[in-house]
């Protein structure tokens, strides 16, 4: 990618890759970052690398729900580490002759990604240790996936769920994947909107408690989400 490539521009990135992977963005931030991902190859690559780490680490301990105040403190640390790492890496890149704005941006992006990876590690370890090592069991459900060669697993623990997808195709232009819950009758929308990495990977938390939920669905919806499904679900996970 050249320094003149518009996809390498830092505009709109704002260090949101790690909070996006952790599901810590507000609804507005999430929507804006999903839009940004469509035009920023640098952020897509960063999200993909962070998702690989985030997907591997849960195998080390059962998933538990972190208190909201712990989550806020951890994300504040992640953002602080990112802000401290960026200037130092920027100076190093400039010393090596990367004097253009785009070149400097690309120079300190790896350091920023490293800081965010460290933040993910801190977040996951803090959640496990803060719960006394975890006491609940994680239920893993193989979801039905319509996309050829794609797969999805729903991990349910302590009344909360997280969906891992693999080899999923990217949503078509102007659309995103939206998560729905079904307790009885009509699917209810959630604020969980996501795309997948270049390799088709994604991990997304299901908002709220899944107590009493019979199914979790994923469908392709217009960018920004829908209040009711506009297309048939591409992923169906049966909880009961």
What is the structure's pLDDT at 10? 45
Please, are residues 50 and 18 in contact by the beta-carbon 8 Å criterion?
yes
Looking at residues 169-177, what average pLDDT do you find?
94
pLDDT in tens, 62-96: 445 555 666 666 666 666 665 655 555 445 445 54
pLDDT in tens, 130-157: 444 445 689 999 999 999 999 999 999 9
**Which one of 39-48, 87-96, 108-117 scores highest in mean pLDDT?**
39-48
**CA neighbor of 159 nearest in space, from 67, 72, 238, 63:** 63
Q: How confident is the model at residue 170 (pLDDT cuts 50, 70, 90)?
A: very high
**CA neighbor of 85 nearest in space, from 61, 119, 62:** 119
What is the structure's pLDDT at 131? 45
What is the structure's pLDDT at 166? 96
Mean of per-residue pLDDT scores for the chain: 75
What is the structure's pLDDT at 6? 40
Kindly provide the b/e burial profile for residues 167-187, where b requires at least 16 CB atoms within 10 angstroms of the residue's own CB.
ebeebeeebbbbbbbbeeeeb
Please, are residues 104 and 95 in contact by the beta-carbon 8 Å criterion?
no
């Amino acid at each position: 990618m050249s320094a003149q490539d518009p996809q390498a521009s830092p505009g709109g990135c704002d260090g949101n890759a790690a909070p996006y992977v952790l599901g810590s963005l507000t609804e507005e931030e999430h929507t804006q970052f999903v839009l940004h991902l469509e035009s920023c190859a640098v952020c897509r690559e960063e999200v993909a690398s962070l998702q690989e780490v985030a997907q591997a680490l849960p195998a080390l301990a059962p998933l538990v729900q972190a208190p909201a105040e712990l989550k806020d403190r951890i994300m504040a640390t992640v953002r602080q580490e990112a802000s401290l790492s960026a200037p130092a890496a920027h100076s190093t890149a400039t010393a090596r002759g990367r004097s253009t704005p785009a070149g400097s941006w690309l120079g300190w992006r790896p350091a920023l990604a490293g800081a965010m990876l460290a933040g993910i590690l801190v977040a996951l370890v803090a959640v496990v240790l803060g719960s006394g090592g975890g006491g609940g069991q994680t239920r893993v459900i193989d979801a039905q996936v319509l996309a050829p060669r794609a797969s999805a697993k729903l991990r349910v623990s302590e009344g909360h769920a997280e969906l891992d997808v693999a080899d999923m195709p990217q949503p078509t232009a102007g659309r995103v994947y939206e998560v729905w819950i079904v307790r009885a009758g009509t699917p209810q929308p959630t604020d969980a909107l996501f795309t997948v990495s270049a390799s088709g990977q994604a991990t997304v938390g299901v908002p709220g408690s899944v107590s009493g939920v019979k199914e979790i669905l994923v469908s392709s919806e217009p960018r920004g989400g829908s209040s009711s499904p506009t297309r048939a679900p591409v992923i169906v996970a049966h909880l009961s």
